A and B are shown apart, each in its own frame.
Chain A
Amino acid sequence: MSTAVIRAEGLGKQYRRGMAETRGTLRDALTNFARAPLAALRRPKQEVFWALKDVSLEVREGEVLGLIGRNGAGKTTLLKILSRITRPTTGWAEIRGRVRSLLEVGTGFHGELSGRENTYLSGSILGMSKREIDRKFDEIVAFAEIDKFIDTPVKHYSSGMYVRLAFAVAAHLEPEILLVDEVLAVGDIAFQKKCLGKMGDVAREGRTIILVSHNMAAINSLCSRCVILNVGGVEFDGPTDKAAARYYAESLSISSGSDLSARRREGSGKARFTSISIQPLDPVGRPLDVAFPGCNLSIDTEIECKSDFAPANLAIIICDSNGYRVVDTNTAQKGQFVSMRTGQVARANFQLREVLLKPGKYIVGLWLGREAMEIIDYVEHATNFDVMESEETSLHVIVFPGVYLCRFDNSVTIQ
């Protein structure tokens, strides 16, 4: 019976609004004090908000726990408290074992130093001893695939090389407990697979992991148990498949109106998606009321630019109700990039042909950015649509699993 290695009871974290801003200048503070000593000493009433409220959980040894939730739900705050980066306001937690946290790719990297020097520096900051780094150095370099460049200053690395080395260092941490925050989505697809594989190895070695990710494929493949955080509290704690279904059931209930101003989004905000509309079309281009497998989709979106940005990739992302990304059509695939100047408005249209998705609910996301360097605007749930049964899919009652409805001809001959 494995023991609990992490136990948390009633954890809460309160922030005062504007806490990230400093208390102004020392000069101001002193002048205020001189003018009205008593008033200055009395702490001003500040608006507070709870990033985490009454979070209790237990993680057993060797468990891989997924932590999911919307942006701002408190996932990173919880990891920061368990990593001791910040102290809780209420509650307590007890951890048995060495904890290492992976909250960012490239922690401690300095551009002027070479890859080798940064490996030692970052490794040490992340918690490895010098002896450990010596021992694993060759493995790290091989994993990162940058053998020839290990002694060049990191400022000369491409963004791909940088993240590969940074992740390689972090991937070779061997703590009893590992806290990972959304760092698996770095590098190209091949490298992401490698990272996921490495995480899998770490899990199989019996280490305890808490994984925060929006990549439901990663969560599904690595985690047996999942906790959903919502506005700072635990909303669900149980098997991953139930958690995923619940999480996506909620997101689908967002109104699918076309105005995007109130949508949750990430990104630098240099431009904003303002609207989206989807129109299913039949093979000759006539509009349809609903989408069915094999139809065409015409997707229109409008972007308003708030400040100039360099050539960026514009992507339409379609995810199924389990959060798997099934379609990613983007301008980069065609070698096209979008640049805009302040004040301009762009209208983009994507014509998706023969969309062979199985009947079900799908979520459409919009992404504008420059891979690994900058996200300009990313609306994860811009709208959703249903793919309805068509004649071909409704010949049999049972719903077969899978996403892609492949067209086929078949014949069976009996000898």
Chain B
Amino acid sequence: MASLTAGPGRDAYSQVLAVPVPRIRIEPPRGWLELRLHEVWQYRELLYFFVWRDIKVRYKQTVIGVLWVVLQPLMTMGVFTIFFGRLAKLPSEGLPYPVFYFAALVPWAYFATALANCTNIVVANQHVITKVYFPRLVLPLAAVCSGLLDFVIGLVVMITLALVFGIHVTATVTLLPFFLILALLTALGVGLWTSALNALYRDVASIIPFIIQFWMLASPVAYPSSLVPARWRWLYGLNPMAGVIDGFRWALTGHGQPPGAQMVASTAMVVVVLVGGLFFFQRIESTVADRV
């Protein structure tokens, strides 16, 4: 055994590596206010591997793979163009119907998949959770990140589509990342709640498809938010996806609602849901391994 004298908080290994020895204290969970976000940063490589695993497995399993990512929103766009556009003649803020719908369907598809994955991810990984320690927050984060690749593919198709219809990308596109982050945080915020609830009540996952359908109708995907009277716009904005979808369309095409009161309401809602979700999730986290 090494004969180096050990000082306080250091031992033989750390003397050699000049790295402080981690000191962990294990205790019963205490109340609601335990957030260990710095730990998540320490485990960022694991987050990368979870995302990588999800993407690899998804693409290995489907023959159509990449195509499906694009086919789904394209087909929905087709149906919307015929029924909501040509037949029902809903307004589209000056954009050709396909562009109007697709610009909303790309972020929506990302959000819907991210939320669904997030809800299931804790239960789906129960065999790992019960065998190894890592901050459980890594899982919902991985769930919302693994859809980003599909999102980028959809974005490329979107821009191509816009060019085909003669819509040019304007300077507003530089704000696109902000709206993407907002979409991610919304999915994460809601996902933290549903994920924790799903670990407690297993039927939550089966309610999610219905919630997503309903939510899509409540968001400006198939219609512009200008349909909503101005004085109710802030209430409508409490749906964070309203801000996201509108913002997306506006950033990508320059048409539509520039961010305003609605956007403020949306962002505020996201923050509330996210912070609440973080605490709720961490609270349930300490007992998840006992429940699965």
A interface residue numbers (CB < 8 A to B): 2-3, 5, 15, 19-20, 22-27, 29, 61-62, 80-99, 101, 103-104, 107-108, 110, 112-113, 117, 120-121, 124-127, 129-130, 176, 206
Contacts and interface: CB of A to CB of B under 8 A. Distances in A.
B150 interface: no
Q: Which one of A92, A97, A126 has the highest number of Cβ atoms from chain B below 10 Å of its Cβ? A: A97
B201 interface: yes
Contacts of B52: 121
A110 B49 CA distance: 12
Contact of B201 (A29, A92, A97, A127): A29
A120 B49 contact: yes
A112 B13 contact: no
B28 A87 contact: yes
Given A22-B202, A23-B201, A25-B201, A85 B46 contact: no
B27 A107 contact: no
Contact of A87 (B22, B45, B60, B286): B286
B131 A22 contact: no
A178 B254 CA distance: 58
B289 A101 contact: no
Contacts of B1: 2, 61-62, 206
Query: Nearest 5 CB-CB pairs, A to B?
Result: A26-B201, A25-B203, A93-B26, A84-B133, A124-B49
A124 B26 contact: no
Nearest to B27: A92
Interface string B61-80: 10000000000000000000
A230 to B, nearest CB: 22
A139 to B, nearest CB: 20
A101 B49 contact: no
Contacts of A26: 197, 201, 203-204, 207
A25 B205 CA distance: 11
Contacts of A206: 1-2, 12
A94 B61 CA distance: 44
Contact of A107 (B45, B132, B289): B132
Contact of A88 (B27, B46, B201): B27
Given A89-B28, A110-B57, A20 B290 contact: yes
Contacts of A112: 56-57, 60-61
A125 B52 CA distance: 13
Nearest to A207: B13
A86 B285 CA distance: 9
Nearest to A118: B53
A127 B132 contact: yes
B11 A97 contact: yes
A278 to B, nearest CB: 39
Contacts of B38: none
Contacts of B200: 22-23
B53 A113 contact: yes
A110 to B, nearest CB: 6
Contacts of B228: none
Contacts of A5: 11
A393 to B, nearest CB: 44
Given A95-B26, A96-B21, A97-B22, 10 more contacts: A2-B1, A20-B290, A26-B197, A26-B201, A26-B203, A87-B27, A92-B27, A121-B53, A125-B134, A130-B45
Q: Which one of A26, A27, A101 has the highest number of Cβ atoms from chain B below 10 Å of its Cβ? A: A26
A344 to B, nearest CB: 33
B25 interface: yes
A96 B25 CA distance: 9
Give the interface SS of chain A, mostly helix, strand, loop or mixed: loop
Nearest to B13: A176
A82 B24 CA distance: 10
A126 B131 CA distance: 9
A110 B25 contact: no
Interface residues of B, number: 46
Contacts of A129: 45
B24 A22 contact: no
B23 interface: yes
A125 B49 contact: yes
Contacts of B29: 87
A19 B26 contact: no
Interface string B8-24: 00011100000001111
Contacts of A62: 1
B291 interface: yes
A117 B56 contact: yes
B210 to A, nearest CB: 13
A94 B21 CA distance: 12
B235 interface: no
A130 B46 CA distance: 9
B128 interface: yes
A162 B211 CA distance: 41
A91 B28 CA distance: 7
A49 to B, nearest CB: 13
14 contacts: A19-B290, A20-B292, A22-B199, A23-B200, A25-B201, A83-B132, A85-B132, A87-B28, A94-B23, A98-B22, A107-B127, A121-B49, A124-B45, A206-B12
B6 interface: yes
B173 interface: no
Nearest to A206: B1
A121 B52 CA distance: 9
A94 B207 CA distance: 42
Contacts of A126: 132
B130 interface: yes
Contact of B26 (A61, A84, A121): A84
A3 B11 contact: yes
Contacts of B131: 85, 101, 103-104, 107
A130 B49 CA distance: 9
A121 B51 CA distance: 11
B129 interface: yes
